[in-house]
A and B are shown apart, each in its own frame.
Chain A
Amino acid sequence: EVQLVQSGAEVKKPGESLKISCEGSGYSFSNHWVLWVRQKPGKGLEWMGIIYPSDSDIRYSPSFQGQVTISADKSISTAYLQWNSLKASDTAMYYCSRLGELAAESAAFDIWGQGTMVTVSS
């Protein structure tokens, strides 16, 4: 079964650092882009950035460039989303998703992790 399993919920204080994970299984993790998405409470989905684990090619949304770091360790089929100094405004659900092949020359973000809730509060 193709799946993405994300790390558990986190409660942090402002200024603290954090790294959350997204582990893929059931497919060739290295050869599929992984997307990170933010969803603030009661709000919509926001594209944060994507990474190609094979060579760690990363594309950030301008809105998130410099605010977070996306990385991956292909040896353990895991992608990461990291903050150096959290803010209360980082409180959100974070999802990962993979770019999968649905048909010849057709790809879409088809498999999603269950989400990781990050709460930043003093």
Chain B
Amino acid sequence: SYELTQPPSVSVSPGRTATITCSGDALANQYAYWYQQRPGQAPVLVIYDGTKRPSGIPERFSASNSGTTVTLTISGVRAEDEADYYCLSSDSSGTYWVFGGGTQLTVL
């Protein structure tokens, strides 16, 4: 079965830049989507179609793609960005979708 791999945790000081990676064989030709989930809340879409930000998502959230790895970057991290982040994508056929295991972002 298809898998997306994320680091379990990332720590960053306020004002610095956080990077969260997501690796998967099909990411070279399938879009990735990123979700933020704060404790006790439903997920929120922060990136779609690989690199695009939905309306209302701060500009400090961005994403990039390099082959089979995609990266979510949060610039000028704030305390409110502390959350779990999940990537979502499909296998090469577009049939089966999976979430990455999630990355807990801690703002020190």
Residue-wise interface mask of B (31-66) relative to A, using a CB-CB cutoff of 8 A (1 in contact, 0 not): 001010100001111001100101000000000000
Q: Which residues of A contact B98 (CB under 8 A)?
A: 47, 61
Find out whether the CB atom of A109 lies under 8 angstroms from the CB atom of B99: no
Contact residues of B: prevailing secondary structure: strand
| Of the residues A47, A62, A115, contact of B42 by C-beta under 8 Å | A115
Complex contact B45–A63 (CB within 8 A): no
CB-defined contacts of A107 to chain B, threshold 8 Å: 48
Q: Is the CB of B33 within 8 A of A46?
A: no
Determine the chain A residues whose CB is within 8 A of the CB of B35 once the complex forms: 45
Bound complex: CA A62 to CA B33 (Å): 21
Q: What is the interface size of chain B, counting residues whose CB is below 8 A from a CB of the partner? A: 23
Which of A37, A62, A114 sits near B1, CB closer than 8 Å?
A62
The answer to whether B52 touches A106 (Cβ under 8 A) is yes
Q: Report the separation of the CA atoms of residues A112 and B84 in the bound assembly, to the nearest whole angstrom.
A: 16
Known contacts A62-B96, A102-B54, A110-B54: does B43 contact A45 (CB below 8 Å)?
A: yes
| Chain B CB within 8 A of A103 CB | yes
Confirm or deny: A108 has a beta carbon within 8 angstroms of a beta carbon on chain B.
yes
Distance between A86 CB and nearest chain B CB, rounded to angstroms:
23
CB of B14 within 8 Å of the partner chain: no
Q: Mark A84-104, 1 if CB is under 8 A from B, else 0.
A: 000000000001010000110
Is A106 in contact with B48, judged by CB distance below 8 angstroms?
A: yes
Contact status of A47 and B52, CB under 8 A, knowing A63-B1, A108-B45, A112-B42? no
Q: Is the CB of B42 within 8 A of A44?
A: no
Would you list 8 pairs from A and B whose C-beta atoms are within 8 A, ordered by A residue?
Answer: A44-B84, A44-B86, A45-B37, A59-B95, A102-B54, A107-B48, A108-B33, A115-B42
